[in-house]
Structure 1
Amino acid sequence: MSITFECRVNNISKSRLPDIDIIDFICNNNTEIKMDIHRNINIVKVNDKVYIELSKELPKYIEGKDFVGHGYVITKRQLDNKINIYISLWGFLVILSTTNRDLDKSLNYMDKIYLKIAKD
């Protein structure tokens, strides 16, 4: 399973936790992604166009340029017509909010997931 979203960085805000930012992405396929990231490893700025890949296998990446992390699907919640899929990247939270039912069906609790962010 691998899916790639074309996204734009909509906002970057400071978390209440020291040195942690919260990035809001608006993506294709009616998907929004919100994620925590440490400032020292954040590779994006507001309005950057990026590609976010979710995969069950280690994706190809450019070391020193792309961000790649792995973690686990920890929960899923239905809200109105969207499903929120929560992925923990070793404590850093990623929330996918989507109407894509295929994505919902392909990600199960405790699946190991790789997340790659590549700038355009």
Structure 2
Amino acid sequence: MPSLSGILLDARKHNLRDGITGALICRHDIYLQLLEGPSDKVQAAAQRIGRDDRHVGMKILLSESVADRMFGQWAMLHDPAKTVIWSEAEIADDILNRTTPAEIMRVFEALADQMEQGVLPDA
């Protein structure tokens, strides 16, 4: 997946520069990304992602301030969706449009918990 490799390289470079951390969960049918950092830098990153022609149909599912980062040690953790994620059938059935912000956060919290337990995906 050459495009994904390029996306990860760019994300890590920009995120290190801007003090942003986060995680990217991806599979051929889903991409979910969580960005953490200064609000202005995260907003600028979201705008940059939206202008990038490698991203199609980007939608912000949740935007909120938090006290602590979940992925503070990662410029961009890559999880190839082998951990906690919906099935391909659920994605095809448009589950993301029915998923609450709290459910989205639980996906990333589960990934952070797996990291703490030493069950790391291919980063």
TM-score normalised over the length of structure 1:
0.31
TM-score normalised over the length of structure 2:
0.31
**Greater helix proportion:** 2
**Greater strand proportion:** 1
